[in-house]
A and B are shown apart, each in its own frame.
Chain A
Amino acid sequence: MFNLPAETFWLLVPWPFIWLGLGIFMYFKLRREDIYEEESK
């Protein structure tokens, strides 16, 4: 894939997608916390 050795491809290339996924997950987690904080007030 992209003429990279398999080791390089699988250890390095997925990371941007992992970080983006984590960013989206954290957005929804923090939004849920915000809603809970509002309700608990």
Chain B
Amino acid sequence: MNLDMIIFVIYMLGLLALGISFSRKVNKSVDDYILGGRSLGPAVTALTMQSTSMSGYMFMGGPALAFQQGWYAIWYAIGDAGGSIINLSVLGKRMRRMSELLGALSPIEYLEKRYESVAVKVVASLISIVFLSAYVFAQFIAAGKALESLTGFNYELALILGIGVIIAYTVTGGYLAVVWTDFVQGIIMVLGITGIMVMGLIHIGGLSGLNESLAAIDPTYLSIWGKDLAYYGQWGMVLGAILIYAITYMGLPHVVVRHMSMKSTKTVKGAVLVSSIWNQIFVFAPYVLGFVGIVMLPNLSDPEMVIPTLAYTFFPGVIAAILLSALMAAIMSTSDSILMQTGTILSRDIYQRFINKEASQAKVVLVSRLCVLAVGVVGVIVAIYQPPTIFALVIFASGVLGNSFIVPYIASVYSTKANKVGVLCSMIAGAGTNIIWTVGALDTVTGIHPFLAGVIFSIAGMLVGNRFGNPPSDEMQALVEKAKGPRQIPKNINKSISFDLSPEAKNISTHLQSVRLNNVEN
């Protein structure tokens, strides 16, 4: 066995041990298994959120786009780099408060309780299960391709081994195993990718040398409009490319659940800071390596393999092993979170809600574990028989999820008037638009990205739907107001109030003094 394989195997076994070590802690209650007992601090929240958000796409799909389109691909990275800041700032505190007030343990249960509707839960569960599964299948395909190429195993064996580790620790250790392995993997990802990027840039003469070489091959690689100026003047495509990762995370159930599992609302500020630093170091590096690939690997047949091929061709040995570990870290940290979330939706939102309402805590935990196992096994089978491109599948699945849930989650904590008809219209319009736009290739006709179209229709669905049906109950409106937190009066208004009240206060004081003097004299 080579040195790189030994390092990789040790890494996988370490993760497995870490994940399984949480199995005792999570056996106590559903809350512990599904949400880690709402105990996560800022650093763990930030890194689990980011390593979950940054999937195998970052090591395969993103660099492939950069390899094909040049600097245009950076539009996607720009949105991605700010995604966590927007997500935590917009939803963080309010969703943490609201989920506790509602007693919700899963993002879908949260929607049902907030919008007081079983129909909302059914529609949200269906969309989540279908598209989270598509998302996780893409991760499995990425894992299989990477392991096959780098270890020499055949695709099926590589898939079963790689995914077997993820399923094992997710089933046994639950949410805590997922977030703590994500934390470790977030560190490995950033170290691995920046290490390879530095080596690549040194090899090619720095960023200036890289751009000079790109210009020599084809000057349009340096353009913001893509290779051969394919997207020239299409600001609708550019805006969609930025938005898809800048705001999608607010609509991904396996990401927003991180708001619900924070220790308290005070966790948010530290998580924003840590994630914003981590993002700026990590997010741009895979795209830069895609550019390096254009110069150093001109005959590469599969663009999604640009980073692994770079590492194994030019930096074999320990560096390649670190790259393999980092790549698998990205895939595993996303896959485990999606598996966990799918298991939660199936056990908590479907089994306990509709099939066995009297199920004990132990039984729900058991069903959740079985569901994670079942989805994992089905995922492996699908990945073996239907390997589409990872980039296309991830963009499509995350786009549909984002279009379905961004507006409902934001409205849930900002609008007291958002009701169940509004949220149903929003989810169906958002998901439907993205699917129709993608399948019908309407982006080429309209110049508008499917995600941007989905956001517009989702907002319209919410606004129109809210005009029909009953408004939320008074109790729910009061809860939304409470979730907004205490209102701080702006300084200028505070000053004006003091100024307005001062003559009145003076009169009262003078009156009381005169009354006291009269009493003394009498």
Contacts and interface: CB of A to CB of B under 8 A. Distances in A.
Given A26-B272, A34-B265, A34-B269, A19 B279 contact: yes
Nearest to A37: B486
B204 interface: no
A33 B212 CA distance: 48
A: contact size bracket:
20 to 34
A20 B280 contact: yes
Given A3-B211, A4-B71, A22 B269 contact: no
A19 B81 contact: yes
Contacts of B75: 12
Contacts of B275: 23
Nearest to B276: A23
A6 B76 CA distance: 20
Given A19-B279, A27-B272, A4 B222 contact: yes
Nearest to A18: B82
A34 B223 contact: no
A3 B265 contact: no
A16 B85 contact: no
A30 to B, nearest CB: 4
Interface of B: 71, 74-75, 78, 81-82, 85, 88-89, 93, 207-208, 211-212, 215, 222-224, 265-266, 268-270, 272-273, 275-277, 279-280, 284, 485-486, 488
Interface in A2-40: 2-5, 7-8, 11-12, 15-16, 18-20, 22-24, 26-27, 30-31, 33-34, 36-37, 40
Contacts of A40: 486
Given A15-B81, A19-B85, A19-B280, 7 more contacts: A2-B208, A11-B224, A12-B71, A12-B224, A33-B485, A34-B265, A36-B488
A30 B269 contact: yes
Interface of A is mostly: helix
Interface of A: 2-5, 7-8, 11-12, 15-16, 18-20, 22-24, 26-27, 30-31, 33-34, 36-37, 40
9 contacts: A3-B207, A3-B222, A4-B211, A7-B223, A19-B81, A20-B276, A30-B93, A30-B269, A37-B485
A18 B85 CA distance: 11
Contacts of A3: 207-208, 211-212, 215, 222
B81 A31 contact: no
Nearest to B207: A2
A4 to B, nearest CB: 6
A34 B273 contact: no
Given A26-B272, A40-B486, A5 B223 contact: yes
Given A12-B71, A26-B85, A30-B268, A5 B222 contact: yes
Given A8-B222, A12-B74, A23 B266 contact: no
B208 A8 contact: no
B377 to A, nearest CB: 39
B96 to A, nearest CB: 12
